[in-house]
């Protein structure tokens, strides 16, 4: 296995203007990523489900001027299982796809499942899963027309999920694979978030590598980051101190945590070499060069079947 390309994310918000965006893009360019993953919600280009033409023109010019390649991460709260706002959810995803086309991005990541709210008891789980499949097929048709691939991402057991306040089937990557297999659309695959999968494995007790392996034939994009595989189950300490205690979705550079990344990618059999986004927390922006280097080392060494030391 080798990654087709290695990029990183731009997760800082710029919704109050574009101040700092050009400078951050220039800093990213000097770090040498193959692409940059951008979030339309952080760039303010979607308004009420539709692309904001004025804002898109301003932001789009800056993105294209930077002469970088891009992928897109759709808004985190897109929920294709929510039947009460189904049309709006679809509009937001479709706008993310059109935004990707405008900036030349080939991949759009979106989250699966019911992460953002308690499950609506007025609808059966199967009805909601079926609605998500139908929405993904329809979005896949648009993606195919635009030359874009949708990559649906697995999640991790954050505290509301642990408490049962909300539900997200995608914390089990094998269940996400079943859903995307059932979608059966050439423009719809999986974004394997290895940090999320490691946290879920640690909490639920399943085999991390085996569970990730269930997704292999569908993986089109990878989110690569590290953590200590410790889930915050009590709500304490506060989120600002999670790094101190090593809890949760830390988004560290590869090698800074405890996830067996080399072992994972040695055993993953991807039919296509996926793109890989090294997804760091905003406060770790200065570590992007280190993180890109670590990801490329993993890719090269695993492809050569030699041990790597991070």
pLDDT tens per residue across span 180-233: 999 999 999 999 999 999 999 999 999 999 999 999 999 999 999 999 999 988
Collapse the DSSP code of 20 into the 3-class scheme (helix H, G, I; strand E, B; otherwise coil) and give the result: coil
pLDDT band with cut points at 50, 70 and 90 for residue 303: confident
pLDDT higher than threshold 50 for residue 118: yes
Residue pLDDT, tens place only, 29-73? 999 999 999 999 999 999 999 999 999 999 999 999 999 999 999
pLDDT for position 307: 47
Using a 10 angstrom Cβ sphere, with 0-12 exposed, 13-18 middle and 19 or more buried, the burial of residue 150 is: buried
pLDDT higher than threshold 50 for residue 20: yes
Q: What whole-number distance in Å separates Cα of residue 13 and Cα of residue 45? A: 12
Collapse the DSSP code of 230 into the 3-class scheme (helix H, G, I; strand E, B; otherwise coil) and give the result: coil
Residue with tokens 């199967």: 126
- Sequence-ordered alpha helix ranges (H) in 188-305: 194-204, 208-213, 242-245, 261-267, 288-304
Collapse the DSSP code of 137 into the 3-class scheme (helix H, G, I; strand E, B; otherwise coil) and give the result: helix
pLDDT, mean of residues 111-131: 80
Collapse the DSSP code of 221 into the 3-class scheme (helix H, G, I; strand E, B; otherwise coil) and give the result: strand
pLDDT for position 252: 96
Chain centroid to CA 277: 8
**First-to-final CA distance of the chain:** 18
Contact criterion met (CB below 8 Å) for 191 and 212:
no
Contact criterion met (CB below 8 Å) for 296 and 6:
yes
CB neighbourhood size of 205 (10 A): 7
pLDDT band with cut points at 50, 70 and 90 for residue 309: very low
DSSP for 150-209, please give it: EEEEP----HHHHHTSSB-GGGSHHHHHHHHHHH--TTEEEEEEHHHHHHHHHHH---HH
- Residue 10, beta-bridge partner list: 38
Residue pLDDT, tens place only, 150-183? 999 999 998 888 887 788 999 999 999 999 999 9
Phi (first) and psi of residue 122, to 5 degrees: -70, -15
Q: What whole-number distance in Å separates Cα of residue 281 and Cα of residue 293? A: 17
């Amino acid at each position: 296995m080798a990654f087709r390309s290695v990029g990183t994310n731009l997760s800082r918000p710029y919704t109050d203007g574009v101040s700092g965006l050009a400078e951050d893009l220039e800093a990213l360019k000097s770090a040498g990523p193959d692409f940059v993953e951008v979030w339309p919600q952080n760039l303010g280009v979607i308004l009420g489900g539709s692309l904001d033409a004025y804002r898109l023109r301003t932001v789009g010019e800056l993105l294209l001027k930077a002469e970088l390649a891009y992928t897109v991460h759709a808004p985190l709260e897109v929920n294709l299982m929510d039947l009460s706002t189904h049309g709006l959810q679809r509009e937001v995803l479709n706008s993310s796809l059109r935004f990707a086309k405008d900036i030349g991005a080939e991949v759009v990541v979106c989250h699966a499942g019911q992460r953002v709210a308690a499950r609506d008891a007025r609808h059966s789980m199967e009805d909601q899963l079926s609605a998500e499949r139908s929405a993904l097929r329809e979005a896949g048709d648009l993606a195919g027309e635009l030359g874009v691939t949708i990559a649906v991402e697995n999640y991790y057991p954050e505290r509301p999920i642990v408490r049962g306040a909300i539900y997200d089937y995608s914390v089990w990557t094998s269940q996400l694979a079943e859903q995307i297999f059932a979608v059966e659309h050439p423009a719809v695959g999986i974004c394997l978030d290895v940090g999320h999968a490691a946290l879920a494995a640690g909490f639920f007790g399943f085999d991390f590598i085996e569970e990730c392996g269930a997704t292999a034939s569908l993986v089109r994009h990878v989110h690569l980051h590290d953590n200590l595989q410790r889930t915050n189950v009590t709500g304490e300490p506060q989120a600002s101190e999670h790094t101190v205690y090593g809890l949760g979705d830390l988004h560290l550079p590869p090698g800074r945590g405890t996830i067996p990344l080399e072992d994972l990618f040695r055993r993953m059999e991807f039919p296509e070499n996926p793109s890989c986004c090294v997804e760091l927390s905003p406060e770790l922006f200065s570590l992007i060069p280190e993180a890109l280097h670590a990801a490329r080392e993993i890719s090269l060494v695993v492809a050569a079947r030699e041990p790597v030391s991070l």
